[in-house]
């Protein structure tokens, strides 16, 4: 109904600035990639300087779902439930080969990529990806949030 105006674009700027520089990740770490996720959060690579100060272990207070590790068929319903419990706006990062595509495990029990279950915004290749890889995804996520608008979110 109402198009973008100077008011809404200012609101956009403020809201997006808040969201991108203070996103709280939900670390859905199941396997080895979780170790690299921890390394990225630790002092040496320090994801806190990008705003991920508080990793939320409850989906209700999280912004980004970082799936780090292999997702098995048995884990899939839990992943779906957690994803749906994160309030919008939410983003999903698939970290590592297993989350992106099942990785080396093309077997009877592994989900061949979480994008078969939930929409993914960013894929990080690697087995495991270096912490810099995760930080790269975080920075791209921040730029992506910059382009969001309050108008679209309401529609």
Kindly list the residues in this chain that would bind another protein in the complex (CB under 8 A).
73-74, 106-109
Residue 107 or 116: the one with the smaller Cβ distance to another protein is: 107
Q: Could you tell me the smallest distance in angstroms from the CB atom of residue 108 to another protein?
A: 3
CA 6 to chain centre: 30
For residue 78, the minimal CB distance to another protein (Å) is 12
Question: Is the CB of 76 or the CB of 150 nearer to another protein?
Answer: 76
Beta bridge partners of 13: none
CA-based nearest residue to 66, from 104, 40, 42, 46? 40
Place of tokens 């679209």: 152
Residue 18: other Cβ atoms inside 10 A: 12
Nearest distance in Å: CB 116, another protein: 14
Q: How far is the CB of 153 from another protein (least distance, A)?
A: 36
- DSSP lists the bridge partners of residue 72 as 110
Residue 49 or 74: the one with the smaller Cβ distance to another protein is: 74
Closer Cβ to another protein, 69 or 128, answer by number: 69
């Amino acid at each position: 109904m109402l198009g973008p105006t100077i008011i809404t674009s200012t609101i956009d700027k403020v809201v997006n600035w808040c969201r991108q520089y203070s996103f709280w990740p939900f670390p859905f770490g199941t396997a080895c990639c979780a170790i690299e996720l921890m390394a990225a959060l630790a002092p040496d690579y320090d994801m806190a300087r990008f705003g991920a100060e508080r990793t939320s272990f409850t989906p209700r207070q999280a912004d980004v779902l970082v799936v780090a590790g292999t997702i098995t068929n048995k884990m899939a319903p839990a992943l779906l439930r957690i994803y749906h419990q994160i309030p919008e706006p939410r983003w999903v990062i698939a970290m590592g080969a297993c989350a992106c595509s099942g990785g080396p495990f093309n077997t009877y029990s592994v989900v061949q990529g979480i994008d078969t279950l939930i929409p993914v915004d960013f894929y990080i290749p690697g087995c495991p990806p270096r912490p810099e890889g995760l930080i790269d995804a975080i920075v791209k996520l921040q730029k992506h949030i910059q382009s969001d608008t309050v108008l679209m979110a309401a529609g």
